[in-house]
Amino acid sequence: MLAKREMKSKELAEIIGITTANLSILKSGKAKAVRFSTLEAICKALDCQPSDILEYKED
């Protein structure tokens, strides 16, 4: 989604107000939970729906 919007991770992190380290945790799937506010900010910044950035994978 970031590539589609031609946006860098650092830019997105700045827009949604989290650190690049935390964005990296989100991208790698290591996060335990995502706040609705963060999800909302990401969707707003990338102009997309939660389903566009969330994916379920069986362990």
Partner 1 sequence: MRTILILKRLITVFYYLIFIGLIAQLFRIINQIITGKIHDLKPKIFGEQLDYGTMSLFEIGLSGVVPVVLFYCFFQSLIYLKRSLKDLESGNYFSALVITNFKKIGILFLVCSLGEVIGKLLFFIVFKSKFHFELDSSVVLFFIMGLFFMFLSEVFQKARRLQQENELTI
- The yes or no reply on residue 10 touching partner 1 (CB under 8 A) is no
Which one of residues 4, 10, 35, 44 is an interface residue with partner 1 (CB under 8 A)? 35
Residue-wise over 31-48: b if at least 16 C-beta within 10 A, else e? eeeeeeebeebbbebbee
What is the closest distance, in whole angstroms, from the C-beta atom of residue 48 to partner 1 in the complex? 18
* Structure tokens that stand for 13 in this block: 């992190």
Region from 1-9, 20-28, 50-58 binding partner 1, contact rule CB under 8 A:
20-28
Of 30 and 57, CB closest to partner 1: 30
On whether the CB atoms of residues 9 and 2 are closer than 8 A, the answer is: yes
